[in-house]
Amino acid sequence: MAGEMGKYIYMVYRTLSYGLSPLLYLHVQCRRLQGLEHPLRWRERFGRPSLPRPSGPLVWFHAVSLGEGMAAIPIIKHCIQQRPDLTILMTTTTNSAFNVIKDRLPLGVIYQFAPLDTPAAMDAFLGYWDPSAIFLIESELWPNLVLGASKKGIVVALLNARMSSKSFKLWSAPIALPLISLMLSRFSLIAPISTIEAIQFQLLQARPFTINFAGDLKYAVGHAEASEQESAIMEDLQLQLANRPVWMAASIHKGEEEVMLGVHKVLVKIYSNMLTIIVPRHPEEGRQIAIEVRKEGLNVVLRSSGEKILPSTNVYVVDTLDYCCR
């Protein structure tokens, strides 16, 4: 009965996502004008390839953004070592991930932007690339992707599987539980990062025999990947920070800088030479954050400016994405 309900809810989701396709097209165009989508490769978001598919077996790795994409690279390298005959396809959804990861993938790996989870985009993508297996990173649980792949007989795995308390609550709702249960039943492997995640996936009715621990893949992304130039940048940054107490607010969203500046004002009463590092989730918001910092009468340096951190610097805003600050 639960399985039939899941299939019914999926058909409703598929119909709705099909009907919303024109609005999603307009949404992507607005994002493109804002610089949030690639100006030339935005069509890939609708399942339209920009590169030819090589012959032979192909494996698809998908991660939403930079951190998840970097975590996939060690696995991709291992796959290439074990199976050099495989073609590897890597997808992410954000420009920030694309700008960094494209230069770190092994030679021969195909890099595309991931399709939206609409029937037309996903069916076109799966039909063109025809992967033998799909490895999703962390929490990319999309119905048209997972169930569309399953219908085609494609093996699907979830690596570094995460489930936030908010997501767990949403998926546990009576209307969503049959759908997530149906989706999780299609996975051949779920590798959670902790026991808590494992329990949550089981409570969402994932099959216990598919759950296997593998640790957090992000710890596999080591400094060995840094080039000599990047290592020199890191050493220079460490010298600039020497002998100063530092705290960092990482991956903050718009508006949260106000809270961080409040924390800075408290800490500076205890540590007079305190340096606050702010890393916005979206680097393009760095300049606006710098404006807000200056309004508070604080000395701020933007990483993109290339300026050094001086003893008089109060706040350092990391508005770039690269190895040193990923």
Name the catalytic one among 37, 44, 68, 140.
68
Asked if residues 233 and 210 have their Cβ atoms less than 8 Å apart, the reply is no
37 is catalytic: no
CATH number of 226-325: 3.40.50.2000
Residue segments in the chain with a per-residue pLDDT below the cut of 50: 223-224, 323-326
**pLDDT recorded at residue 222:** 56
Digit-coded pLDDT (tens) for 247-283: 999 888 888 989 999 999 999 999 989 999 999 988 8
**pLDDT recorded at residue 321:** 73
Alpha carbon distance 194, 240 (integer Å):
36
DSSP tally for the chain: helices H, then strands E: 12, 10
Could you say which DSSP state residue 26 is in?
A: H
State how beta strands 315-317 and 58-62 pair. unpaired
**pLDDT recorded at residue 223:** 46
Could you say which DSSP state residue 233 is in?
A: H
Asked if residues 30 and 105 have their Cβ atoms less than 8 Å apart, the reply is no
Q: Where are the beta strands (DSSP E) in 152-235?
A: 155-161, 189-192
**pLDDT recorded at residue 326:** 42
**pLDDT recorded at residue 221:** 61
Can you give 69-113 as a three-state secondary structure string?
Answer: HHHHHHHHHHHHHHCCCCEEEEEECCHHHHHHHCCCCCCCCEEEE
**pLDDT recorded at residue 60:** 98
Alpha carbon distance 199, 209 (integer Å):
13
Give the HSE-up count for residue 199: Cα atoms under 13 Å, Cβ half-sphere.
4
Digit-coded pLDDT (tens) for 58-105: 999 999 988 889 889 999 999 999 999 999 999 999 988 898 899 899
Domain boundaries, the chain: 2-220, 226-325
Residue 147, token pair as written in the block: 């169930």
Which residue type, as a one-letter code, is found at position 102?
A: K
CATH number of 2-220: 3.40.50.11720
291: exposed, middle or buried (C-beta count within 10 Å: 0-12, 13-18, 19+)? exposed
**pLDDT recorded at residue 254:** 84
**pLDDT recorded at residue 228:** 60
Phi and psi (nearest 5°) for 92? -140, 175
226-325 has the same fold as 2-220: yes
Taking the whole predicted model, whether its pTM rises above 0.85 is answered as: no
By three-state DSSP, how is residue 158 classified? strand
Q: Where are the beta strands (DSSP E) in 107-236?
A: 110-113, 133-137, 155-161, 189-192
